[in-house]
Structure 1
Amino acid sequence: MQNLPVSSLLNSHQALLKNQHLLTGRLALLGVASAHLLPELPAGGLAMSEHAGVYRALQSHEAWQACFGYEDPALLAEGTYDSIVVFLPKARAELEMRLALARSLASENARLILVGEKKEGIVGAIKQLKAVAPQVAKVDSARHCQVWCAQAIEPAPGFRVQDWLTWSVAECAGMSVEVAGLPGIFSQDGLDNGTRMLLDTLAEQPVRADRVLDFACGAGVIGAWLQAKQVAREEPVASVDGVDVQAQAVICARETYQRNRVTGTIHASDGLAGIDALWSGIISNPPFHTGVKTDTSMTEQFLQDVKRHLKPGGELRLVANSFLPYESLIKRHIGRVERLREDRRFTVYRAFRGK
């Protein structure tokens, strides 16, 4: 495999490569954002990503043990790694969980390296790092990033992602469901306003479908709520499948479905690539951020792909921030589109695939 120019790598990955002399012994990388980093490192090891697409790319590197998120069986290898790199996650709460995972993987006298961009909060994250590694020191500032290193961290075996699960109640239109949460998952702190508007329209104008897909399902609140509402109204219960790209979301959605006895399957996938199923209804509150940047590429790709997964006459219902250009994209890829509800922040769109 041909290596890319180092300058084309992510800033945090470039900063690590500049300091790869710190990487001794058995190596674990937690939170890898691009598989292009791996060929630049001299030896293999463990590489974990929470992103389903990145994880699949990691699998193509034979010298590396690829892991998907915090529940991968390969992470049971406690006390195995001598150098552990933690890339700064987007959510501050997730860093605490990622550090706990790092300590469970650490051998005696292991070295822990934290790498992150300044704009993503590396300076504030150091307090969390010092809580588990008081002797940590900054070793470099490069590519708008900082690199911190802690020598001989204290191992802490027994990491289980289930210990980090929390539960909350989501209520809308008189119907409540229990929802699982993990650090780093969107809307862990409650039902967001966009999803609430979407659920309100589903209560007033239900999607007529025997099988539904919740794209970018997050913690599974839409599927759980939809089936609970159908049961309460004594309506036919639609199977609600879910797709999400993030490992924590997949874990939470499966837990939410189990707790609420929801019928449906949760898939880990980067968009609809590799999924062959057809649905008569597709619902989504898609993300539009990558880190701190607005990024609609995932939803644009979804709208390009969705028609081949929607049965003739099937409905697409989507909520999005009103400033995003989704109406024209839905019209182009699906057909005539209408606005079911809107306010200054959000709009719920509905479109049907032609027969």
Structure 2
Amino acid sequence: MDPRSEVVIRQHEYLSGRVLLVNAPTDELLSNLGKDISPCFWTWNYNEFQYFQSQQANVHFGVELPEGSFDQAIIFVPKSKELLNYVLHNVVSRLGLGASIFLVGEKKGGVERAAKQLQPYGKAIKLDSARHCQLWQVKVESTAQEKALADWAQAYTVATPKGDLTICALPGVFSQNRLDVGTAVFLPFLSQVTSGKIADFGCGAGVISAYLAKLNPKNRIFALDVDAFALASTRMTFEKNGLSPEQLEITAVTGIEDAPLFLHAIVSNPPFHQGIQTNYDASESLCKTSRRHLKSGGELWIVANRFLNYPLLIEQSFGKCTTKADQQGFKVLFASTEKKS
């Protein structure tokens, strides 16, 4: 079991009623909660959502809190400070005065820093410190008014050959306040991507999706991501730039296996962070299995750190991988399926 869950279970006597569990680990916590507790899980990670569904948990996937009222909330500290601010504000807006919010996290995950973010809502008390984790409690002394989702987005401008794009990025989304180097290296090559049905795998705030839509109004973009905040950001980015909603299809995915079939192209600045861990599974799977989602003559375009072994994995699947650029520590990689004569 995750040590954070073990710390929660150690302090079980503090828990009662309808409890909202936010960003909880995928472990056996649910089966170790008392029968007097009515748990509801909230996650913005589609993999985790599917896990909790398989456990027959009451679980909600999305950027908004689940419906209904709660007596207490347990927040497992997310990686992003901005995302924790968002979560705390929204949880406090739903709970009544005097209700308890518990914050749990690993020391290496910044739980002591995160505990300081409780201060606007009441006096934070450390309840436990064990297994390299800490559990904090605050009893809500001041409420918060719910804010519109758009008020939480950061906006920045990206210059492209087709004019400026305004990018809207919600808390916790990759590259929230500026264009990342990998995408900057990738952008000049997107005009070479074949037109048609294009999947943007790991769409983030929608930079690549929006630019591909702007390049050709006939492009149909499938924005794929595991993160609900990324998907919502991509939708906002399309709206902000006046791009046609008919061009965009937003889909929560666990990996490339959930992508549509018969695509003209797959483009990706692939994700490799899961929480504070580094995880290459999703991007390695993209290199190995994306071919089956492409039409004959379909294309795969990836930008990736120079040190990763993606060219070898792509070659094993496609037969050939071309390096289109090698700049600033990133490679732009291209492969295509054979056209049938």
**Length-normalised TM-score, structure 1:** 0.88
Query: In 1, distance between residues paired with 2:53 and 2:109?
Result: 27
1:109 to 2:98 alignment: yes
Deviation of 1:208 (Å): 1.6
1:54 to 2:48 alignment: yes
Query: In 1, distance between residues paired with 2:328 and 2:157?
Result: 27
Deviation of 1:186 (Å): 0.5
Deviation of 1:87 (Å): 0.9
8 Å Cα contact 1:116/1:145 also seen in 2: yes
8 Å Cα contact 2:121/2:143 also seen in 1: no
Deviations 1:71-120 (A, max 9, x none): 35x34x2xx21121011010111111110121122134211100011111
The one-letter code of the counterpart of 1:89 is P
Query: In 1, distance between residues paired with 2:159 and 2:31?
Result: 48
Deviation of 1:212 (Å): 0.8
Paired residue for 2:282? 298
Of stretches 250-259 and 289-298 in structure 1, the one that deviates more from structure 2 is 289-298
1:353 to 2:337 alignment: yes
Gaps of 5+ in 2: none
> Residue 82 of structure 1 is aligned with which of 71, 82, 94?
71
1:125 to 2:119 alignment: no
Matched residue SS, 1:208: coil
- What is the correspondence of 1:151-190 to structure 2 with a 5 Å cutoff? 151-173=139-161, 175-190=163-178
Paired residue for 2:188? 200
Query: In 1, distance between residues paired with 2:178 and 2:316?
Result: 34
Query: In 1, distance between residues paired with 2:11 and 2:164?
Result: 50
Matched residue SS, 1:44: strand
Q: Residues 291 and 139 of structure 1: is their aligned pair in 2 closer, same or farther, counting only changes over 3 Å? A: same
Matched residue SS, 1:339: strand
Query: In 2, distance between residues paired with 1:161 and 1:39?
Result: 33
Query: In 2, distance between residues paired with 1:37 and 1:275?
Result: 31
1:12 to 2:12 alignment: no
The one-letter code of the counterpart of 1:81 is F
Deviation of 1:167 (Å): 2.3
Q: Residues 229 and 209 of structure 1: is their aligned pair in 2 closer, same or farther, counting only changes over 3 Å? A: closer
Paired residue for 1:191? 179
- What is the correspondence of 1:18-97 to structure 2 with a 5 Å cutoff? 18-34=10-26, 36-42=28-34, 43-62=37-56, 64-71=57-64, 74-75=66-67, 77=68, 80-97=69-86
Matched residue SS, 2:248: coil
Gaps of 5+ in 1: 1-8, 232-236
Deviations 1:306-338 (A, max 9, x none): 111111111100000111111111111222001
Deviation of 1:217 (Å): 0.6
Paired residue for 2:302? 318
Paired residue for 2:231? 250
Q: Residues 195 and 35 of structure 1: is their aligned pair in 2 closer, same or farther, counting only changes over 3 Å? A: same
Paired residue for 1:219? 205
Query: In 2, distance between residues paired with 1:70 and 1:167?
Result: 18
8 Å Cα contact 1:35/1:58 also seen in 2: no
Query: In 1, distance between residues paired with 2:238 and 2:260?
Result: 22
- What is the correspondence of 1:328-347 to structure 2 with a 5 Å cutoff? 328-347=312-331
Deviation of 1:37 (Å): 2.5
Query: In 1, distance between residues paired with 2:137 and 2:155?
Result: 34
Deviation of 1:281 (Å): 0.7
Runs of 4+ in 1 over 6 A off after TM superposition: none
8 Å Cα contact 2:121/2:138 also seen in 1: no
Query: In 1, distance between residues paired with 2:198 and 2:140?
Result: 51
Matched residue SS, 2:99: strand
Amino-acid identity (%)? 32
Query: In 2, distance between residues paired with 1:309 and 1:343?
Result: 29
Query: In 2, distance between residues paired with 1:112 and 1:105?
Result: 11
8 Å Cα contact 1:35/1:57 also seen in 2: no
Paired residue for 1:234? none
8 Å Cα contact 1:112/1:153 also seen in 2: no
Deviation of 1:279 (Å): 0.6
